[in-house]
Structure 1
């Protein structure tokens, strides 16, 4: 299992939000590139970069920062946030992104996954499934669908998604621990890798997720608040 530090960008700064609320910043740091380089220096083998302004407000104010990160760092970077067209995805892949993450656009129109995977290869296309109360939510977690993560996951796998990023919104950003039941089901029911996100706050959480068989875990707030040490997280993730 791989540990993937999160670098979320808003207003050209690295932030961590509480429950995805743009008005509730748990962390705010200058120079996202410097933050990303810090995680790599501490052993990160992959990074998770999200452009929150593009995702929430459809503003392209951080695109140059994102592209600078993916072109500068020597580790794979998965990029998400406001990728709404095939052209958006190709643009980021061309800039150096390891894989791009489609969220609302994929849930609303699974055809975009099929088209993009044909253009860049399915291993470069990840789909974000955000779950609240057992149902997938979209549009920055503001709109609830009537579909379970497994149902949508299977559909998007058929369309060419190469991996799934699963976030449990009910625990995300609260630093109260993970909820693994849905993660277990996704890993069992899908044939593509699953990366888990949301709620990781202890080393035990990392062990719990590792036991589910996920490919990786995205960690944000717990690293920024110094509740977890990245080197130790990586050590645990690679242990027997």
Structure 2
């Protein structure tokens, strides 16, 4: 199972939010500094979210993200504000390994098919963000139906992987909610990376047992509740 330290960017800073709420932002300095720290501690992949993009300013933080691409040599998946094929293609063309398509995929699921045909399905990840078992869109402000149904639909449209984020527990550092993860993983055959609530070695082990392909570590990592080297060592 791959571990993805999160590098969430808001207003040019690396931050962590609680349940996606801007007003809860806790800042952790320059995004590149955080990225290099996690790489130094053993990370082989990064999960970068352009929070300004998710909140409606898709062009924000572009230079910072380009810097992250040029100054690191690990696998990078990027989400936040990717609302069109042009947005996705632009990031893929400059070196992002995999883009996460969320709201755009619910509004036009065929965008996944077109991007997968053009760039390869392995570079297209569909975002399945859940609130109370329904997919959450537009910066987690609206819901649009059962997450398991959407997960299967995204797979059918050609997504090479899914990012499942449980908004209900995201940023709380109180552990994962197993049932929705099991439902989503059980509804598809493609890899599912899980985000939200991962805050102990027990959570990481549970995700391995559930068959998750990866885990995103955010607030628990930044607050020191989880140690990246300890997580990596435990998985060996």
Question: Structure 1 length normalisation: TM-score?
Answer: 0.96
Distance in 2 between residues matched to 1:138 and 1:186, nearest whole Å: 17
Pairwise CA distance, 1:34: 1.4
1:19 maps to which residue? 19
State whether residues 206 and 236 of structure 1, in contact with CA within 8 Å, keep that contact through their aligned partners in structure 2.
Answer: no
Distance in 2 between residues matched to 1:162 and 1:20, nearest whole Å: 25
State whether residues 12 and 64 of structure 2, in contact with CA within 8 Å, keep that contact through their aligned partners in structure 1.
Answer: yes
Q: Which runs of 5+ in 2 are unaligned?
A: none
- Could you report, residue by residue, the CA deviation over 1:158-187 in whole angstroms, capped at 9, with x for unpaired residues? 111000000111100111110111212222
State whether residues 2 and 214 of structure 2, in contact with CA within 8 Å, keep that contact through their aligned partners in structure 1.
Answer: yes
1:5 maps to which residue? 5
Distance in 2 between residues matched to 1:59 and 1:99, nearest whole Å: 17
State whether residues 58 and 82 of structure 2, in contact with CA within 8 Å, keep that contact through their aligned partners in structure 1.
Answer: no
Distance in 1 between residues matched to 2:57 and 2:108, nearest whole Å: 18
Distance in 2 between residues matched to 1:2 and 1:198, nearest whole Å: 15
Q: Any residues of structure 2 matched to 1:167-182 within 5 Å, and which?
A: 167-182=165-180
Question: Structure 2 length normalisation: TM-score?
Answer: 0.97
2:50 maps to which residue? 51
Distance in 1 between residues matched to 2:157 and 2:69, nearest whole Å: 26
Q: Which runs of 5+ in 1 are unaligned?
A: none
State whether residues 130 and 168 of structure 1, in contact with CA within 8 Å, keep that contact through their aligned partners in structure 2.
Answer: yes
| Aligned: 1:164 with 2:162 | yes
| Aligned: 1:90 with 2:128 | no
1:76 maps to which residue? 75
Secondary structure of 1:57's partner?
coil
Q: Structure 1 residue runs of 4+, over 3 Å off?
A: none
Distance in 2 between residues matched to 1:3 and 1:126, nearest whole Å: 16
Pairwise CA distance, 1:59: 4.2
Secondary structure of 2:55's partner?
helix
| Aligned: 1:183 with 2:174 | no
State whether residues 2 and 237 of structure 1, in contact with CA within 8 Å, keep that contact through their aligned partners in structure 2.
Answer: no
- Aligned residue pairs, count: 236
Distance in 1 between residues matched to 2:169 and 2:51, nearest whole Å: 19
Cα RMSD of the aligned pairs, angstroms, is 1.0
Q: Any residues of structure 2 matched to 1:124-163 within 5 Å, and which?
A: 124-145=123-144, 147-163=145-161
Secondary structure of 1:68's partner?
helix
Distance in 2 between residues matched to 1:87 and 1:60, nearest whole Å: 12
State whether residues 2 and 234 of structure 1, in contact with CA within 8 Å, keep that contact through their aligned partners in structure 2.
Answer: no
